[in-house]
Amino acid sequence: MDLKEVKLLSKEIRNKYFELEKEIHGSVWSVEEDALAFLTDAGLVGRLTMDNQGRWPSADKELLPSKIGECVWWLAILAERMDLSFEECVETFLTERLKDLK
């Protein structure tokens, strides 16, 4: 799956969550709330990584692949909501980092 497809599917899923949020709360989450949700999931990736590496046990070890995917999803959504190109963000970072490390 390429980044463009990731972005499109992420947006489709997020739109479904927008509808759910409207139904439950009367409005959609703000960009800040999305960022906090991402940070929560990123923290869970850290915790589940500790379990994966045998440093701290977790009863939810099977969630690690899903949480990694969810973090990618959140990043695609955050870029979209802040009028940034997800593909360009990733490409620019990788290209610049490789150049800087030569």
Residue 82 belongs to what domain range? 3-100
pLDDT-based confidence at residue 101 (cuts at 50, 70, 90)? very high
Query: Can you tell me the distance from the alpha carbon of 85 to that of 78, in angstroms, rounded to the nearest whole number?
Result: 10
Query: Can you tell me the distance from the alpha carbon of 90 to that of 94, in angstroms, rounded to the nearest whole number?
Result: 6
Q: What is the mean pLDDT of residues 14-32?
A: 98
* Kind and range of the H or E run holding 98: helix 86-100
Number of independent structural domains in the chain? 1
**Contact in structure between 4 and 87 (CB atoms under 8 Å):** yes
Percent of the chain with pLDDT over 90: 100
Count of CA atoms in the C-beta half-sphere (13 A) of 34: 23
Q: Write out pLDDT tens, residues 24-45.
A: 999 999 999 999 999 999 999 9
The domain that holds 86 is classified in CATH as 1.10.287
